[in-house]
Amino acid sequence: PETIYLKDYKPFSYTVQQVDLLFRLAANATRVISKIAFAPNPQAEDQAENRRFFLHGEGLKPISLKIDGTPVTPREVPGGIELDAPDAPFTFEAEVEIDPAANTALEGLYMSNGMYCTQCEAEGFRKITYYPDRPDVLAPFDVRIESDLPVLLSNGNPGTSGPGFAEWSDPWPKPAYLFALVAGDLIAHPDTFTTRSGNTVDLNVWVRPGDEGKCAFAMESLKKSMRWDEEVYGREYDLNTFNIVAVDDFNMGAMENKGLNIFNSSAVLASSETSTDANFERIEAIIAHEYFHNWTGNRITCRDWFQLCLKEGLTVFRDAQFTADQRSEPVKRITDVIDLRGRQFREDNGPLAHPVRPDSFVEINNFYTATIYEKGAELIGMLKRLVGDEGYAKALDLYFTRHDGEACTIEDWLTVFEEATGRDLGQFKRWYEQAGTPRLSFTESFNNGTYTLTFKQQTPPTPGQPNKDPRVIPIAVGLLNPNGDEVQPTTMLEMTEAEQSFTFDGLATKPIPSVLRGFSAPVILEHESDTQTRAFLLAHDTDPFNRWQAGRDLAQESLLTMLRDGAGPDNAYLDALLSLLRDDTQDPAFRALALGLPGQDDIAQTLADQGQTPDPQAIWEAFETLKHARAEAFQDVATRLYAQYQVTAPYSPDAEQSGARALANAAMGMINRLDGGALAQKQFDSADNMTQQLAALSALIAVGKGDAAVARFYDQWQADRLVIDKWFSVQITGARPDEAADVAQRLTQHPDFTMKNPNRFRATLGALAMHPAGFHHASGKGYALLADNLIALDPLNPQTTARMCTSFQTWRRYDADRQALIKAQLERLLATPDLSRDTTEMVSRILG
Ligand code: DPP
Ligand code: ZN
């Protein structure tokens, strides 16, 4: 397959003035009739000599093609067609036939439960009709849909409609990846929103009949997002209508198509009986994310797909700010960092590491990664820390005014910051260009009242990038004196060298440093610290993130010592955690987070970083031992917390109630280890919300008492796909390591298992991959099961197949036997005839 390079970017030879599309929908033979006004692109004048009229097209059956009314015969070229076109404005018309019912890849126009829908990002529009399917070609679209289905939707504002047809008009020029169409038997949950300048916008959440009772939360989240973007970023909505549609079969979480967001139903449908608190929070965040794209992504889009982080990093950053404002800022920060370390650091430290702005790719779908999204968002956070809140606000205002309606680059983005703040961001740009997670370490000294912190940074090589330059790193530091008072409030140190010292004067005693407060940069902080200092920070740090981090460090140290020396759990950790749990002045959500343990995969990565070979089974056992020791040490407090944090008020997914439930469920998890599932059974029997019911089910499975509850849960929820996804997952994630692959194998034979629904596939095989000791079972049965299923999925859905191959990305960490087993599966995958471009690229990169 061909590799595409950033350095080869050239503007398209033509501009598009207007797109008119007519869809005659039919399951196996939809006709798409297009009329597109082209003109030579003045921005591509240098190409005037050898202008190429190339249009993308994939799997299209051409019926007729015309230029200015005259039939033309195209030349077939890789990825599309080429035509001879005039050196002046002209109209291109095409009629093509496509087969949405046969489209299992879920890219382009496809069908899901009798409903037509589209997914065009990144390169799906070329499966709908011939078009310059690239994000720097923007045009207004007028769409007419002809179908007997009752609800016919597209982008923009509604136009004329009647029996069997509907017209839509989108005045905002947009790239084809933001095109959308939906047709189906759908029910609206309607509402309205009045923008701050007084425009009334019709809002709808469209769902299949039966789901109409699960839309209210998404609608509330949408209205909150619209208000928040006005208040915080000064961004107002710009059409008469905003539609959201829930679709069961969807590769991603959701899609920000202009005026017509299409969502994976898991990211919209919510009710207390069927959704957990975590589901509610995720839905609120994704609704916000897609809505915020209207400005950061749609009004200002990307010049090419190398710039994907321009819209994704910024929009993730914005949705995180929104969630922090709606809920708890420290809790949001902590959970984001857990996720960043679990997914992005894992990627950044393995064969799939790539810069936040990559410089080459084979298949762009493979770059919708934690690095582009989550590290991309971290870069925005660092920029904001470096230029300050005011500088950030000024830069964003300039960005919106200067670039509205344009397709932009990271250079454009950094330039507005440079101009708005007068700061040179040359060194900062390395964050976009160089992959890998910097290791930051420090030493301290104290002399005559002067305290010196000396930092070192170093980034290990990543594929294709052996040498790394020092980055600019904002390091938030505070100092505490030995009795716990803060003697130096948070200061932002700006590290620009490979090694650099910072001093603090006038201190009476040697302070205790609190470094990288709020996780001020996406780095691995390597610092040997004694247990006592960590326990001190867990008790006294004024920065909530670092308090949590101190607890996490203690847990990690204890686990590493158990693994290395066969020691028992560290009592200092248990004591420090116990004091925190007992402290009712502490937010329950925060205490629940402090009770969390690092991921087993994080421990494996840390061991690998230290030059050791992780043993997934031994890690699992160490976690079990530690959890058991905690359950025994915390019996009294667990019983008290469980009773104290039962919510008696009517269910609400708000931060306060979900924090209480999180802590009560964590307490239940501890009690469960000692009472053989008695309390969990009681909770399962009486639960009236999914958060309680699922926590109880998972606890019962963990102690081998889950059979009856698993059966009952299925009977209760068999008609609800999203709940049954949970039923699939929880049985696998809760299985013992030697059984996880067998449970997953058995579930792939269940009548409700289907390859064609990405959510179900992820709930089963993805759940196995997230059970490190089960997936990495020494027999290799986990690897074989995943590979079998990926081989079966690839011809149906390359995008989801390639995404799930990342489960193998850590293979070089492991012992020779496991490496050989994984390598054999990767090679078997790669040798599969007709393997997709997506999967071929992914497996090749993983093999290295
Ligand atoms: N739908 C994906 C997202 O919103 C891709 N744009 O991030
Ligand atoms: Zn996005």
What is the DSSP track for 500-517?
Answer: EEEEE---SS--EEEESG
Among 155, 185, 215, the domain-final residue is: 185
Number of domains in the chain: 2
Count of residues for the chain? 848
541 C-beta closer than 6 A to ligand 1: no
Cα(316) to centroid of ligand 2, in Å?
7
Residue 622 within a domain: no
For helices 308-326 and 410-421, angle between their N-to-C axes, nearest 10 degrees: 60
Largest CA distance in the chain: 88
pLDDT, position 48: 66
Q: Give bridge partners of residue 246 from the DSSP assignment.
A: 263
Cα(257) to centroid of ligand 1, in Å?
9
Q: Give bridge partners of residue 208 from the DSSP assignment.
A: none
- CATH number assigned to the domain comprising residue 786: 1.25.50.10
Residue 226 within a domain: no
Among 153, 185, 217, the domain-final residue is: 185
Residue 502 within a domain: no
Which tokens belong to 552?
Answer: 């996490």
Buried-exposed string 654-675: b where 16+ CB fall within 10 A, e elsewhere:
ebebbbbbbbbbbbbbbbbbeb
DSSP type of residue 705: -
Give yes or no for a contact between 96 and 60, defined as CB atoms under 8 angstroms apart: yes
815 Cβ partners below 8 Å, 6+ apart? 613, 615
Cα(319) to centroid of ligand 2, in Å?
10
Q: Which atom of ligand 1 is nearest to the CA of 253?
A: 1
Residue nearest to atom 7 of ligand 1 (CA): 312
Backbone angles phi, psi at 824, to 5 degrees: -60, -40
Please name which of 33, 36, 19 lies closest in space to residue 128, comparing C-alpha atoms: 33
Please name which of 135, 3, 120, 13 lies closest in space to residue 58, comparing C-alpha atoms: 120
Residues catalogued as catalytic: 290
Residue 683 within a domain: no
Radius of gyration of the chain (CA): 27
d(C-alpha 152, C-alpha 143), whole Å: 11
The ipTM, to two decimals, is: 0.98
- Stretch (H or E) spanning 335: helix 329-339
Cα(824) to centroid of ligand 1, in Å?
34
- CATH number assigned to the domain comprising residue 112: 2.60.40.1730
β-strand 450-458 against 499-504: which pairing, if any?
Answer: antiparallel
Residue 421 within a domain: no
Give yes or no for a contact between 764 and 745, defined as CB atoms under 8 angstroms apart: no
Residue 70 within a domain: yes
What residue numbers bound the domain in which 725 lies?
Answer: 718-848
Give the number of whichever ligand sits closest to the CA of residue 267: 1
CA angle 538, 541, 543 (to 5 degrees): 115
Strands, E assignment, 25-163: 30-40, 53-56, 61-67, 70-71, 75-77, 80-83, 90-98, 108-112, 115-119, 139-146, 151-154, 157-162
pTM of the predicted model over 0.90: yes
Please name which of 333, 199, 236, 224 lies closest in space to residue 280, comparing C-alpha atoms: 224
DSSP type of residue 447: E
252 C-beta closer than 6 A to ligand 1: yes
Residue nearest to atom 1 of ligand 1 (CA): 255
Among 165, 185, 205, the domain-final residue is: 185
SS3 content of the chain, % helix, strand, coil (to 5): 45, 20, 30
256 C-beta closer than 6 A to ligand 1: yes
DSSP type of residue 448: T
Residue nearest to atom 5 of ligand 1 (CA): 255
Cα(311) to centroid of ligand 1, in Å?
9
Residue 709 within a domain: no
Mutating to test ligand 1, I would choose from 117, 312, 374 the residue with most ligand atoms within 8 A of its C-beta, which is: 312
Residue nearest to atom 6 of ligand 1 (CA): 255
Residue nearest to atom 3 of ligand 1 (CA): 255
Residue 142: Cβ within 10 Å count:
19
Residue 472 within a domain: no
530 Cβ partners below 8 Å, 6+ apart? none
pLDDT mean values, one per 10 residues, the chain (848 residues): 95 97 99 98 78 95 98 97 95 98 98 98 98 98 99 98 98 99 98 98 98 98 99 98 98 98 98 98 98 99 98 99 98 98 98 98 98 99 98 98 98 98 98 98 97 98 98 98 96 98 97 98 94 95 98 97 96 97 97 98 96 98 98 98 98 98 98 98 98 98 98 98 98 98 98 98 98 98 99 98 98 98 98 98 98
For helices 816-830 and 781-793, angle between their N-to-C axes, nearest 10 degrees: 10
312 C-beta closer than 6 A to ligand 1: yes
d(C-alpha 727, C-alpha 694), whole Å: 9
Which tokens belong to 291?
Answer: 């809505």
Give yes or no for a contact between 93 and 65, defined as CB atoms under 8 angstroms apart: yes
Give yes or no for a contact between 474 and 522, defined as CB atoms under 8 angstroms apart: no
